[in-house]
Amino acid sequence: MTCCVFVTADQSEDDLGVVHSWGSGPEVVFLSNPLADPVNWSAVVRDELLELGCRVTTFEHRPDRLDWGSAVGCVVEFLGRRRAPVALVGWSQGAAIAQEVALASPEAVTCAALLATYGRQNEIDKTLQQSWDRLAQGDDDLDSLRLAMALLTAYPPQRLADDNFVAHMRARQVDWAGRPDPQKRRRAGTFIATYQDRLPALAAVTTPCLVMGFELDTDTFAARAREVAQAIPRARYVELDGIAHAAPFTDPQRVWPPVIDFLRRHHRPR
C-alpha cells in the first residue's frame, strides 16, 4: 500500500455523528462498530484512494436510540445530505450497517464492500456478547480478561504465538482493550442484540456488493460472511485464508487490493 499523499481532514460533528473527510471526487464512506474508530482502521488504504481521485470519509454514527434500525436510519439520513451517491466500506458491524443502508437507500449507494459481515446472530456470537457485556460491567481488575478476549477474537494463532507481538499488545492494552466507553459499548451491544436473522431481507439488495470473509475470524466468522454473499443477489464473495478479524489493519496488503479493484469497477474514480 502507498503512503505518500498528505491531505488535511475536514472534520465536523452534528446531530447525526462525527465526520472526517479527505480529498475530493467520488466519495467512499467508511463505517464501523462504535468501538472501532474508522479514522484509524481506514488509514492504511486512505492514501491509495486519494491517489485514485476519491474523497475518503469516515462516519461515526450517533443515533438517539440504540437498536440496529436506528443506526441504519442515521446513516441513511447522513447519506441523504451528501452531494452524490457514495461507495460504502464497512467492517464487521459497520459492514452489517452498510448492507442494510444499501437495502434501505439504494439510490444513495453505488456499491458496498462488506468486510467480515454477518446477517444473523449465531450461538457462539451470543456467547461472546454475553461475555463482553459482563466484562463491560466490571472494573479495572478485569483488564487481563478483556485483553484475552480481544486477542483471541481479533488475531490468528500465529500472531498469538509471537511473544513480541503479544508483549506489544499487552503494553498498549489501555489504548485498545481496556474498559470500553459505556455508551459506545451499549450502542454496539444493542445493535448486535437486535440484529437477528436478516438474511431473507438481504435478498432484496440490488446494489453491487463485495463480501469478504477471513478464514480464521473468530469474531464474526467467515461462515456468516458466506451466508450474506449467498443471500445478496450477484454479490461477489472473496475469502482470504490464514488471517483473522483484525485483517483490515494487520494484513492490509491482502485485504485492500480486492476492495480497490471493486471500487474501480463500480465507483468510477478518476
b/e map of 45-78 (b: 16 or more CB within 10 Å)? bbbbbbebebbbbbbbbbbeebebebbbbbbbeb
pLDDT of residue 269: 64
Three-state DSSP state, 61: strand
pLDDT at 5 over 60: no
For the chain, helix, strand, coil in percent to 5 are 50, 15, 35
pLDDT tier, 186 (very low <50, low <70, confident <90, very high otherwise) = confident
> How many CB atoms are closer than 10 A to CB 266?
16
Q: Residue 124 to residues 53, 130, 153, 218: CA-CA distances in angstroms?
A: 41, 10, 11, 9
pLDDT of residue 7: 60
Least confident of 23-27, 73-77, 143-147, 229-233: 143-147
Residues 18-41: pLDDT tens digits?
999 999 999 999 999 888 889 999
CATH of 10-122+194-267, one of 3.50.50.60, 3.40.50.1820, 3.20.20.10, 3.10.450.750: 3.40.50.1820
> How many CB atoms are closer than 10 A to CB 81?
10
What span, in angstroms and rounded, lies between the C-alpha atoms of 72 and 82? 16
pLDDT at 4 over 60: no
**Predicted TM-score of the model (pTM):** 0.90
Average confidence (pLDDT) over 145-156: 87
Evaluated on CA atoms 198, 203, 207, 208, the torsion sign reads positive
Residues 35-66: pLDDT tens digits?
888 999 999 999 999 999 999 999 999 888 88
Residues 104-143: pLDDT tens digits?
999 999 999 999 999 998 888 888 887 877 777 766 677 7
**Can you give the C-alpha Rg of the chain in angstroms?**
18
pLDDT tier, 3 (very low <50, low <70, confident <90, very high otherwise) = very low
Least confident of 12-26, 174-188, 225-239: 174-188
pLDDT of residue 176: 66
Average confidence (pLDDT) over 145-161: 88
Per the CB < 8 A criterion, the answer to whether 205 and 110 are in contact is: no
Nearest to 24 by CA among 105, 83, 104: 83
More confident of the two residues 194 and 174: 194
What span, in angstroms and rounded, lies between the C-alpha atoms of 153 and 199? 23
pLDDT of residue 177: 62
Average confidence (pLDDT) over 181-203: 86
Three-state DSSP state, 36: coil
List beta partners, residue 13: 18
What span, in angstroms and rounded, lies between the C-alpha atoms of 201 and 195? 12
pLDDT at 2 over 60: no
pLDDT of residue 183: 81
Q: Tell the residue number behind the cell numbers 460504502, with chain if given.
A: 88
